[in-house]
Chain A
């Protein structure tokens, strides 16, 4: 898909999300909040996976750091939201800088393994550092500011943050830097011959991806009124990769489609059976074997076929 239809899609999506709270269904509102947060998380990984072509298997670490830090600053230090969230994001950025500098030195499988190792390190610390994180039981009971107490208000807050983040990521993907990212993905050697500092660009993408993941984590912690160690486990990172892949990596809106579809399926299937992971596994098998381009690839093919007729 070229950028025009994608922009129209994003616009329609935004308009639809503006209507949701007025439909009067609390269930729908809460569902939309979760879908938005998970879409933001998937979009954040796509900066790295889709644009630069580095697939991280430890992306959940930054989601967890953002969430736990927000929880800690809000509840333990009693900071106002306006300070807690930015601080949490700064903290995640710092982590991403250090981890990123070390990770971008490696490629492909080794990059995936190192990011996995770091995320397990974060997970291990979360599990064991009970006084700060609550350990196995998770960080329970976040004190939310008054203005976010109602589901309606929280919805507007999430919509605002997610929309701004998405807009920023869109601008990034259309900017010179975004184009440079794609150049690195397509041919790293050629990009470096053209004078691109490949490592530096990869690091920037890594940190940006981590920042938006941390924002998603921060929102999720506030939505759940808590944060749980499972959020940093390697399987969680796997889920983010699945969302991105299901939607389609080489497009902007793909991860939104992937994350939304995956979550809506999960909610639906959970009503019938506890074996959601089995279904997710089968979906992933299908995507890997038949649809490596994801849903976007499928749409493109259908579109091309219709156009020919």
Chain B
């Protein structure tokens, strides 16, 4: 079959090399997976919040950004150590979780009975506020966070060397996915969450404090976004513009997978990860357009996503 290559000669070589050279192919696959797993951690929180609260959270990207900055500040105090990195990631989750708790209890909870659009605009307002507060605290400069010492360098995988940190991300994604799945499907708390998703009035009538369930979900989702941001920091720069596109990526993932579906987000993240990395070989920078096309197509063909349920919310 004749493959149409891009005009660019450099790309041309890259494409051929990719098919003939298993090492390059392997690296590309690994890059796709590590990107996908990083995105999954963020998207998981988004889909969790939508699944239970039925709120499309535009501020999720902003939470992600806050996470990266908090980790940055913690690392400044602790110094560049393994423990510091761990504290940075966990601390970003704790700090963002605390902020999310205040926001949810104080403000968002007043909107649960209102129109969806007001909830959506509320989260949009959070984006604007959080972004400027981040600028006030940390300025507009660009920072970077290094990988923790024990994850620096590369490891020999037999085929080729691959950066340890990226491998770490590849492993972390499935671990988080399984942890959330276990929590949701196999614990009492998870059962309550699923009940809240199905019928919150009934759950309330049965004596569960639905308010606290909602707070818990929002806080967990926000903490996941923040930890995702802290974990992403060694892969990319930390700057005040980092939220705007990541939220669209997270939207693409949850829409492919189905709003509210955890498995869907996992698969969606893999699809977007592979599309972004592999697609950029064929399409160059146009790959960004390809991901939006995919989002449009999925919304048109299956608005409830690959793994979502076609419920009454869709219409």
Contact = CB atoms under 8 A, between A and B. Distances in A.
Contact of A282 (B111, B129, B131, B244): B129
Given A245-B121, A289-B110, A117 B292 contact: yes
Contact of B299 (A117, A282, A284): A117
A281 B132 contact: yes
Interface in B97-139: 107, 110-111, 114-118, 120-122, 124-129, 131-133, 135-136
B300 interface: yes
Given A128-B286, A128-B289, A277-B132, A109 B116 contact: yes
> For the complex, would chain A's binding face be called helix, strand, loop or mixed by DSSP majority?
helix
A256 interface: no
Contacts of A90: none
Contacts of A116: 251
B305 to A, nearest CB: 10
A23 interface: no
A105 to B, nearest CB: 8
A117 B129 contact: no
A85 B56 CA distance: 37
Interface in A115-157: 116-118, 120-121, 124-125, 127-128
B125 A284 contact: yes
A275 B135 contact: yes
B129 A281 contact: yes
Contacts of A277: 128-129, 131-132
A231 B244 CA distance: 14
Interface in B194-208: none
A94 interface: no
A43 B196 CA distance: 39
Contact of B292 (A107, A120, A288): A120
Contact of B288 (A57, A127, A235): A127
Contacts of B56: 109, 112-113
A102 interface: yes
Chain A interface residue bracket vs B: 35 or more
Given A106-B299, A117-B292, A128-B285, A235 B129 contact: no
A40 interface: no
A124 B133 CA distance: 28
A113 B255 contact: yes
A285 interface: yes
A280 to B, nearest CB: 6
A222 interface: no
A278 B128 contact: yes
Interface string A257-294: 00000000000000000010110111011001100100
A191 B286 CA distance: 43
Contact of B293 (A109, A121, A233, A281): A121
B303 A110 contact: yes
Given A284-B128, A288-B125, A235 B111 contact: no
Nearest to B125: A284
Contact of A278 (B118, B133, B244): B133
Given A116-B251, A281-B128, A282-B129, A121 B121 contact: no
A118 B69 CA distance: 31
B289 A107 contact: no
B116 A280 contact: no
B289 to A, nearest CB: 4
Contact of B295 (A106, A117, A127): A117
A145 B65 CA distance: 45
Interface centre among B58, B107, B117 (most CB of A within 10 A): B117
Nearest to B292: A121
A117 B114 CA distance: 25
Contact of A120 (B118, B136, B248, B285): B248
A108 B244 contact: no
A105 B301 CA distance: 11
A233 B244 contact: yes
A238 interface: yes
Given A117-B292, A128-B285, A288 B248 contact: no
B188 interface: no
B314 A124 contact: no
Interface of A: 55, 57, 102, 105-110, 112-114, 116-118, 120-121, 124-125, 127-128, 233-235, 238, 241-242, 245, 275, 277-278, 280-282, 284-285, 288-289, 292
Interface of B: 56, 58, 107, 110-111, 114-118, 120-122, 124-129, 131-133, 135-136, 244, 248, 251, 255, 285-286, 288-289, 292-293, 295-296, 299-300, 303, 313-315
6 contacts: A108-B313, A110-B303, A113-B255, A117-B255, A284-B124, A285-B126
